[in-house]
Amino acid sequence: MRLAVPGVLDKTVRWPLAARLAMAVGVLAPLAFLMGIPFPTGVRCAGRRRPGVVPWLWGINGVMSVMGSALAVAVAIHLGVRATLLVAAGCYALAAGVFQRGEF
């Protein structure tokens, strides 16, 4: 992805705004789709095992969404975007591990 984005930016910089917006959506949509899958899947699986935990999961998701976005900005400012992406990947890997072990 890192190698592709600068090339896309160079080739599309003179495109009309609507075309650049469409390109941005095309590049980001697959990533957003994949990042959106873990939470609903986890809630569904946890709800089957323990239905009473679903409201807690929604609450934790809301709190962590706010904290995560603020923390991501702070990490990016102090450690760089690469470190931010690595931390995010680690969080997703940790969540996947917890999900695979069924510890929810």
- Secondary structure (DSSP) of 46-83: HHHH-GGGHHHHHHHHHHHHHHHHHHHHHHHHHH-HHH
CA distance readout (Å), 57 to 54, 65, 80: 5, 12, 30
How large is the average pLDDT for residues 7-21? 87
Query: Residue 27 pLDDT more than 80?
Result: yes
Tell me the per-residue pLDDT of 56-81, one tens digit each, with 9 for 90 and over: 999 999 999 999 999 999 999 999 98
- Find how far residue 45's CA is from the centre of its chain: 20
Bigger pLDDT: 94 vs 104: 94
Q: How confident is the model at residue 34 (pLDDT cuts 50, 70, 90)?
A: confident
Q: How confident is the model at residue 35 (pLDDT cuts 50, 70, 90)?
A: confident
